[in-house]
Structure 1
Amino acid sequence: MNEGVEWAMHSCVNLNWIPDEAVTAKRLAAFYDLPTAYLNKQLQALTRAGILSSTSGPKGGFQLARPIERISLLDIVVAIDGPDEAFRCTEILRSGPNGDPKQDYVKTCVISQAMRQAELGYRRELAGRTIADIVAEVERTYPNAAESTRTWFANLKS
């Protein structure tokens, strides 16, 4: 999984705590000392997916485009990494000594089936968790997180 997924999820949590302000990629990147250009690519991917909205200009930046209850972790993974499955069966059994060139090994290979089942479980788990769930857990575990984040961003205006 691309590290941009982690960065995007953290950015969504932080943007939730700054609801009335567009935040630049530079400011979001500075919060975690990330490379601005690379984070900006992730934020643009979230914008294309309808998770964020972006505004250009001096008061521009990024904001959440929909309520956090409607942003699943899977939405973010797909926006950053794309919709393809993590495991790609290349049907190497076809080339083995017992291979059948007519067989569909993607569907019949035990390894392919196990990996597809694991992928389905992984995607179900991500689809069932939202940024709202993450925000609630962070706020329960770290009660000062929201306020300290707002304060940090308020003090860094560039």
Structure 2
Amino acid sequence: MVIYDFKKQSDLEDWRVVNDGVMGGLSRGEIIMTESGTAVFQGVLSLENNGGFSSTRTLPRPYNLDDYHGVSLRVRGDGNTYQFRLRLDDRFDGVAYRYSFQTKVDEWMTVEIPFSECVPVFRGRKLSGVAPVAPEKIQQIGFLISDKQAGPFRLEIDWIKARQR
């Protein structure tokens, strides 16, 4: 099932950017549509003022993924490591579940993400004793970069699909 394929501008209406400015950092990020029908999450990471992350995520809404065991992404990156992130509630700053993946410079790749391999985190720190991802409760999806490398980043996203059980 296609969750997002970024073929029309309205596919970006749910997406928002959250940078390290919420903690005083100076990183910049944005998510835009390309003429070829992909989304691009791009910007510049800054380590100044204890910064170093940029993220984009959807507004909260039910995704109804209880019949699925994971997601697939088709992405083209810049060699950086990114995180795909899930949230099970509509809070701005709650527990997230992350799956890290390494991109290859300017090469399309498909990333298969089983929900069972998503790690619960809070503000970047792994949590123990937290229930695993409950697909029926997923409210937000997104991407984050925080690889402690200052400089530009660019992740192009062709589609995000749910993987059938």
1 or 2 for the larger relative contact order (CA 8 Å, sep ≥6)? 2
Give the number of the structure whose alpha-carbon radius of gyration is greater.
Answer: 1
* TM-score in terms of structure 1 length: 0.25
Higher strand share: 2
* TM-score in terms of structure 2 length: 0.24
Higher helix share: 1
